Amino acid sequence: MLALGKLLELTLAGREPAEKTQMTTGGVRLRWLGEGAMEVRPPQAQDTGMDLLLSAGIHGNETAPIELLDELIHQIARGQLKPRARLLLLFGNPAAIRRGERYLEQDVNRLFNGRHEMSSGAEAFRACELERLAANFFSEPGRTRLHYDLHTAIRGSKIEQFALHPWQAGREPSSQELARLSAAGMRAVLLQNKASITFSAYTYERLGAEAFTLELGKARPFGQNAQVDLSRLQDVLEQLIEGREVAPAADALQGLEVFRVSREIIKHSAAFRLNLPDDVENFSELEAGYLLAEDEGGKRWIVEEQGARIIFPNPNVANGLRAGILIVPQQV
């Protein structure tokens, strides 16, 4: 296997490779771009015209997608996977990955779309660096641009694998994109309702890529992800990488649930209280009239929506950040 196939090993050790560029026997070029970052370019005659960005480890303790990305890199470096798409492969927060923590000082996935410019420290610098790498990668005109940012969740979920689609006025995910997600094992897609500061929102809003955040189960340490079945996602990624994706079946969207954001619950002070059990799962249903949260000044969030569910409930976020999202079903 080519040495650059050990990108995760290099990242965990904090080392640079001796050779920054290597070629497989099939003419695929691997190029180290910096810590936790590698470009893969197929031979020109075999290039399908797709630019595919795969990122994992934006939160350092979300190891299942890191292991998946590592496996794809190994296959490419061994010549077992033969790319016909151009790839950018990123391990998002190397320092947090090395320590097995979600982040060290700041949540990197809240520092995009220029938010890092309002902050300081190593993780703000890393978000800036990831934006630069993505912008350079998606700078070639006339190519298909796709970004999957791979995550696992802090808590359990009634729908374990699902996708979040960023928002931009006048844009909606295509039926082809939704069918691809369904084929990859996603059981639900959440459509956001406003601009965001996540990595997938940056590539979607600023760089014109089709982009999704994929939630792939519950966060666990390295080597403890046997319960996280990513085989369908891996199959779809390998098809995209090798340019052999088949057209979706007519019933491809059956079984895929679509939700839209109704409201975000924003924590404003230390007095904030989220009236849910600590172990509540994502996609738990909430009855209309339920007092969901309270904050200083008499601020109250009462569930008004029919069929409402909660995702990402977390009362321990910093003031000014979301402590949960209310979502509702949407017909496709």
Q: What are phi and psi of 299, to 5 degrees?
A: -65, 130
pTM of the model: 0.93
**Integer Cα distance of 205 and 181 in angstroms:** 20
Q: What is the pLDDT of residue 314?
A: 92
Nearest Cα neighbor of 146 from 208, 198, 193, 197 is: 208
Q: What is the pLDDT of residue 250?
A: 67
Active site residues: 215
Q: What is the pLDDT of residue 218?
A: 85
Let me know: does 268 contact 296? Beta carbons within 8 Å: yes
Helices assigned H by DSSP within 138-162: none
**Integer Cα distance of 276 and 274 in angstroms:** 6
**Integer Cα distance of 123 and 130 in angstroms:** 10
Q: What is the pLDDT of residue 68?
A: 97
Tokens (6 digits) for 32: 């180290």
Nearest Cα neighbor of 12 from 46, 35, 39 is: 35
Based on the fold, state whether residues 203 and 289 are members of the same structural domain. Answer: no
Based on the fold, state whether residues 229 and 276 are members of the same structural domain. Answer: no
Residue 247, SS3?
Answer: coil
**Integer Cα distance of 217 and 300 in angstroms:** 31
**Integer Cα distance of 187 and 195 in angstroms:** 24
Tokens (6 digits) for 278: 């600590």
Quote the domain boundaries for residue 7. 3-242
- Tell me the CATH number at 309: 2.40.50.630
Based on the fold, state whether residues 271 and 174 are members of the same structural domain. Answer: no
Residues 234-269: b if buried by 16+ CB within 10 A, e if exposed: bebbbebbbbebeebeeebbeebebbebbbbbbbee
Residue 73, SS3?
Answer: helix
Give me the residues paired with residue 295 across strands.
299
Based on the fold, state whether residues 17 and 90 are members of the same structural domain. Answer: yes
Q: What is the pLDDT of residue 247?
A: 77
Based on the fold, state whether residues 145 and 197 are members of the same structural domain. Answer: yes
Based on the fold, state whether residues 277 and 206 are members of the same structural domain. Answer: no
Q: What are phi and psi of 284, to 5 degrees?
A: -65, 135
Position 230: which residue type? Answer: L
The reply to whether 254 falls in a domain is: no
The reply to whether 250 falls in a domain is: no
Mark the ranges of the chain whose per-residue pLDDT is less than 50: none
Based on the fold, state whether residues 227 and 313 are members of the same structural domain. Answer: no
Based on the fold, state whether residues 29 and 109 are members of the same structural domain. Answer: yes
- What pLDDT digit, counting tens, does each position of 11-33 carry? 999 999 999 999 999 999 999 99
Let me know: does 170 contact 244? Beta carbons within 8 Å: no
